[in-house]
Structure 1
Amino acid sequence: MERASGDARRRRIADHVMEHGTATGAALARLTGVSLMTVHRDLDELERRGVLRRFRGGASALPSTVFEAGLDYRLGVNTAAKQAIARTAAKLVEPGMSVMLDDSTTVLAMARLLVDMAPLTVVTNARRVVDVFADREGVRLIALGGEYSRTHDSFLGVPCVEAIEALSVDLVAVSTSALDARMAYHQEQDVVLVKRAMLASSASRVMLMDRTKLARTALHRLAPVSDLGHLIVDEGAEPELLAGLRERTRVTVAAGP
């Protein structure tokens, strides 16, 4: 078996544990083709990041069923689905608009598709979204300040919320950790406050969610689904859930590649 790099291996371990709920160290060693000692070190690191919970001999998914790992981890997860969703979301933006983009990886994929849509005003709290537009002619770029989060590579906190509340944009695009038929959720209070403020900054609100985040909950309620103007998901979402969501908001299923 070809051995993956450390980051890729840990992503595979995390995905396996989340899919199955629990896994032994021995099973993960067979899955990844590395020693049990290496697996234990990986599990220690994933627990430190808040991705999973260790127990004697293995690991389990967190009780909340979701987690918010570091940005570099999230960038490598469900990339095809995120690209499909991003392509669909980008079609909602026209030259001359003002758009507010959050710090999610799906919205980052959307941002990369908007670079040639000048003139455009872009408002964001995400450092990597700033990098996308920093050298683009015809783009008015407004960076939202606040307390820097290394986990999210973005700015959060009261200063960020206050900066958002001073603005009104044509369209806001956000993502979050979990969503069921009635409510969107996130497990971090600081993130919830920023995303709520963003959603309130525009009458045109778009939520981007890949199917792994659906039919899940987290600690904090972010917003009712009925308050989301448009929900974009990828193919593979459960039909029953989609029907429930469509009773409350507009839903678009993004086609694959």
Structure 2
Amino acid sequence: MTEQAPARPSRAQRQRRIIDRVVEQGFASVAELVEDAGVSVMTIHRDLDDLAGRGLLRRVHGGVSALPTGVFESSSEFRMQRQVEAKDALARTALGFVEPGMSVLLDDSTTALALARLLPTVGAVTVITNYRQVLEVLMDQDEVSVIMLGGAYSRTHDSFIGAPDASGLATYAVDVSFQSTSTIDDVRAYHQEQELVLMKRAMIGAGERSVLMIDGSKVGRRSLHRFAELSEFSDLVVTPDVPVAMRETMAEHVRLHVTDGT
């Protein structure tokens, strides 16, 4: 039998691989991206033009470089390109915490967005969020009621950001809140943006159960601002690539759940 050649990655998959490589290395040449993807030079140039035009990467002579960390880590569109399979795995595990009739609070993380896509399978739920993308996903779902939090609209985050009392967040008490964040170590969560920390801290207190969802790429690092101790959450969901020793320490502070896979 004639062996079939392996399928080439789709345009979206190819662009995610470009982003991952550039974030890891800081720079990637056109030549290495062509070799990695197995496509033509012109195809890679079109990919780079598209990514640069969307503000995700920066074109430079001979290749592409990463934008300053704070710029692309804040970008909703950039975050949607990263760790897609891991976020889906986190969402599948987190879905087990939701039952029909519950009220659910979702932050403006793309991990929470992955969970939002699964919520219609639960049945009747009420979702409170500040993330416009969650509204886009759920607005036509008859059994899902959506309440949007207020605040100033951030084009970068594609969400509404404001102090808990001004946004309306302080008036809600939900069954379960779901969040992600920039980085964590084995005892504490961090975030790179101060303007979001107050809102995210209020989200912890709004839930009878508060769940932090983190993929392995965010573990073992720190961001500029301390967000919360892991012990302030009721549950922590992580992917299997988090080192076992770190998981053991985390489990001393919070109820730990590990996804089946990425």
State TM-score, norm by structure 1: 0.81
Query: Does 1 or 2 have the higher relative contact order (CA < 8 Å, sep 6+)?
Result: 1
Following the alignment from structure 1 to structure 2, what is the Cα–Cα distance between the partners of residues 27 and 112?
35
Which residue of the partner structure matches residue 165 of structure 1? 170
Stretch moving more, 19-28 or 152-161: 19-28
- Kindly state the Cα deviation for residue 151 of structure 1 after the two structures are TM-superposed: 1.9
Given candidates 207, 214, 222, the residue that maps to 1:202 is 207
Q: What is the CA distance between 1:24 and its match in structure 2?
A: 6.0
- 1:141 matched to 2:146? The reply is yes
The amino acid of 2:215's aligned partner reads: D
What is the aligned partner in structure 2 of residue 228 from structure 1? 233
1:126-179 superposed Cα distances (whole Å, 9 cap, x missing partner): 112122322333433211121111222211123776411111111100111111
Which ranges in structure 1 are unaligned for 5 or more consecutive residues? none
Partner of 1:114: 119
Superposed displacement of residue 70, structure 1: 2.6
Compared with structure 1, are the counterparts of its residues 103 and 47 closer, same or farther at alpha carbon in structure 2 (3 Å cutoff)? Answer: closer
Structure 1 pair 91–191 and aligned structure 2 pair: CA distance change class (3 A):
same
Decide whether the 8 Å contact of 1:118 with 1:138 is kept in 2. yes
Output the amino acid matched with 2:130.
N
Structure 2 distance, partners of 1:160, 1:28, is 48
Q: Distance in 2 between matches of 1:254 and 1:184?
A: 19
Report what 2:16 is aligned to.
11
Distance in 2 (CA, whole Å) between partners of 1:59 and 1:24 is 6
Quick one: which amino acid aligns to residue 79 of structure 1?
Answer: V
Residue of structure 2 aligned with 1:45, choices 52, 56, 64: 52
SS at match of 1:114: helix
Aligned to 1:243: 248
* 1:75-101 CA-partner distances (Å, limit 9, x unpaired): 232222111110110110111111101
**8 Å Cα contact 2:164-2:198 kept in structure 1:** no
Return the alpha-carbon distance in structure 2 between the equivalents of residues 47 and 116 of structure 1: 32
Q: Tell me which residue corresponds to 2:128.
A: 123
C-alpha separation in 1, matches of 2:250 and 2:210: 15
Aligned partners of 1:165 and 1:201 also within 8 Å: yes
2 CA distance for matches of 1:61 and 1:239?
31
Q: Are 1:230 and 1:252, in contact at CA under 8 Å, matched by a contact in 2?
A: yes
Q: Could you tell me which residue of structure 1 aligns to residue 5 of structure 2?
A: none
Aligned with 2:126: secondary structure? strand
Q: Write out per-residue CA displacement over residues 2-25 of structure 1, whole angstroms, 9 at most, x where no aligned residue.
A: 7974x7555333312333466567
Residues 1:73 and 2:78 aligned together = yes
Offset at residue 67 of structure 1 (A) = 5.2
- Give the number of aligned pairs: 254
Q: Is the 8 A contact 2:164 2:170 kept in 1?
A: no
CA distance in 1, matches of 2:238, 2:71: 17
Tell whether the 8 Å contact from 1:146 to 1:156 is kept in structure 2 after alignment.
yes
User: In structure 1, the residue corresponding to 2:97 is in which secondary structure?
Assistant: coil
C-alpha separation in 1, matches of 2:180 and 2:241: 18
Task: Give the Cα separation in 2 of the matches to 1:67 and 1:178.
Answer: 15
Shift, 1:200, TM fit: 1.7
Q: Distance in 1 between matches of 2:257 and 2:19?
A: 29
TM-score by length of 2: 0.80
How far residue 201 of structure 1 moved from its aligned partner, in angstroms, is 0.9
TM-aligned CA distance change 1:85 to 1:4, over 3 Å: closer
Percent identical among aligned pairs is 42
1:206 match: secondary structure = strand
**Amino acid corresponding to residue 45 of structure 1 in structure 2:** A
